[in-house]
Amino acid sequence: MITEQGITEQGTSEPRVLVLGGTAEARDLATRLHAAAVPVISSLAGRVSNPQLPIGEVRIGGFGGTERMRDWLRDNRITAVVDASHPFAARISANTAAACCAEDVPLLMLRRPEWTPAAGDHWSAVASLDEGAAALAGVGERVFLTIGRQGVGAFADCRDRWFLVRAIDPPVGPVPERMELLLARGPFDVDEEIALMRSRRIDVLVTKNSGGPLTEAKLAAARALAIPVLMVRRPAPPAGVGEVDAAGPAADWVMGRSGGGQVRRPGVDGRSTGSSANT
């Protein structure tokens, strides 16, 4: 069942777990919890027109800030939250941490591992999209921009460069004057990525360090073609929140290794369930 923003399931008799995010890891976690008969609600931000839906109950849309999220957690008898949102969804992660802290609801972050450079890579780390746009000077003139549809406006003033922009949905707002838009959803194949970069004569790749295998092929293609990469660093996660890097440890945290279904707090009895589940 899909519920829209602002609509709650009032009168729910059993406590449930909230999983945030439209990521592959969030869908994997929802599947695992559903198979274990753990009541779960998956929440998607609604920024993609045709999202891949997880199994089970789904709500779509933002919560409207920390205070409204606190109300929603209480109204829906949420006993634990797993933030499996995109690694660059800093605002929702911060609001979620504040709401869970205020309501004393256990919170765990599920973040896929970052990409790391391999032999033959030519990466330059940048702190933001604006810094990435400024760093293009002297690096390349034909840019493969794979940052999603949000943030493309940071490159709108780069009039002396040509852009291939790939996203699931068209960007909203300012865009570069010289631009080709390619609407596509991963996973992508390395050979296809090489062919794409060659056909567009790409000489620099700009991407976010999202991690994961679905779009990693572009990095292998850039390595094969000796194309430099401007890699946008992830924002820092909220302080004091436990973190794991896969759905399995997150499911263990929710269910408890004993199978008793009790939610574990990271840093108390959840240290062994993931690579960094501590406070």
**CB within 8 Å of 116: residues ≥ 6 apart:** none
Mean pLDDT of 159-182: 95
> What is the reported pLDDT for 21?
84
* Better-scored residue on pLDDT, 92 or 11: 92
- At 141-160, the pLDDT tens digits run 999 999 988 899 999 999 99
In percent, how much of the chain has pLDDT > 90?
72
Task: Reply yes or no on whether the pLDDT at 267 is more than 60.
Answer: no
Torsion of CA 45, 46, 48, 49, to 10 degrees: 170
Mean pLDDT of 1-22: 60
Tokens of 175: 């865009």
Separation between Cα atoms, residue 200 and residue 249, nearest integer Å: 41
- At 186-208, the pLDDT tens digits run 899 999 999 999 999 999 999 99
- At 32-75, the pLDDT tens digits run 999 999 999 999 976 666 678 888 899 988 898 999 999 999 99
Task: Reply yes or no on whether the pLDDT at 226 is more than 80.
Answer: yes
Task: Reply yes or no on whether the pLDDT at 265 is more than 60.
Answer: no
- At 115-140, the pLDDT tens digits run 999 999 999 999 999 999 999 988 99
Q: With b meaning 16 or more CB within 10 Å and e meaning fewer, what string describes 83-118?
A: bbbbbbbeebbebbbbbbeebebbbbbbbbeebeee
**CB within 8 Å of 183: residues ≥ 6 apart:** 166, 167, 168, 169, 170
> What is the reported pLDDT for 230?
98
> What is the reported pLDDT for 14?
64
> What is the reported pLDDT for 62?
86
151 conformational bin, left if phi > 0, alpha if psi -120 to 50, beta if neither: left
Separation between Cα atoms, residue 212 and residue 45, nearest integer Å: 20
